[in-house]
Amino acid sequence: SHHPRATEAATKYFLIQTAAAIMILLASMTSAWQTGQWSITHTAPTTTLLTTVAIMLKLGAAPTYMWYPNVLQGTTMNTALLISTWQKLAPLTLLYMTHCHLNHTVLLLLGLMSAVIGGIGGLNQTQARTLVAFSSIAHMGWLITAITMSPSLTTLTMITYAVATTATFLPLATTTKNLTDIGATWPMSPTTLTATMVTLMSLGGLPPLTGFMPKWLILKELSAMELPLLATLLLLSSLPSLYFYMAYLT
């Protein structure tokens, strides 16, 4: 028999993903009715908002992110890893295909909201899966911001995030689920603690680690587009994430 918390998480995940799929289907039907074409690249203006909300819901990004930490907290570490990485590919693919027809100003604002919420929301967390959930929300903000400028940069950001998240989950799955206990694992497994520390700092975007590269490129593109305020706010949103990554390792 399954744990009630796992059953609750599975039910929430199913309902959320089903609702998002229904919204995408409704947007497609509305677009076909208005334009006479079923092609996803022929999106009517009235359906862009519905498509955007559906994609944000599937990604667990702001403002439809509340389900994401709860679902990850109720699953196993391996399932949480799968939801945080592999399950992002389908909605990101849809975002790739439709981003030219979506409102880029709205996407930039949603990206900033996700980055800020992901950074601030993780400050008081002690459970590894919940912390990674808010980290994922923050990284989705960077991804959504990148898609408005360069799809190839979005691909680089997603690959970097997936690799770093996988490298973070693997040590946690074999040691502890509570981040406050990770620091106590040094006498037993210094290699595990060191690897966890490096991957968490990479997720936080600390140079010269790999996670710094996509964030630096995104900030560079934003500066080239003469959006210094957005670039500054995104950069500041990384500071809380870097703080709580390091706080639980000391």
Percent of the chain at pLDDT > 90 equals 54
Torsion sign over Cα 107, 113, 116, 121: negative
Q: Convert the pLDDT of each residue in 34-85 to its tens digit.
A: 888 777 766 677 788 889 999 999 999 999 999 999 999 888 888 999 999 9
Structure tokens at 4: 């009630």
Name the residue among 173, 199, 23, 169 with its Cα closest to residue 86: 169
| Residue position matching structure tokens 């710094």 | 212
Structure tokens at 168: 């973070």
CA distance 198 to 74: 26
User: What's the pLDDT score for residue 46?
Assistant: 73
70 CB burial (10 A radius; 0-12, 13-18, 19+): middle
Confidence of residue 1 (pLDDT cuts 50, 70, 90): very low
Task: Supply the mean pLDDT for the chain.
Answer: 87
User: What's the pLDDT score for residue 161?
Assistant: 94
Residue 178 phi/psi, 5-degree rounding, is -110, 120
CA distance 211 to 242: 12
The per-residue DSSP string of the chain comes to ---HHHHHHHHHHHHHHHHHHHHHHHHHHHHHHHHS---TTS--HHHHHHHHHHHHHHHT-TTS-THHHHHHHTS-HHHHHHHHTGGGHHHHHHHHHHGGGS-HHHHHHHHHHHHHHHHHHTTT--BHHHHHHHHHHHHHHHHHHHHTT-HHHHHHHHHHHHHHHHHHHHHHHHS-SBGGGGGGGTTT-HHHHHHHHHHHHHHHT-TTSTTHHHHHHHHHHHHHTT-HHHHHHHHHHHHHHHHHHHHTT-
Q: Convert the pLDDT of each residue in 23-34 to its tens digit.
A: 999 988 888 888
CA distance 73 to 130: 6
pTM beyond 0.95: the answer is no
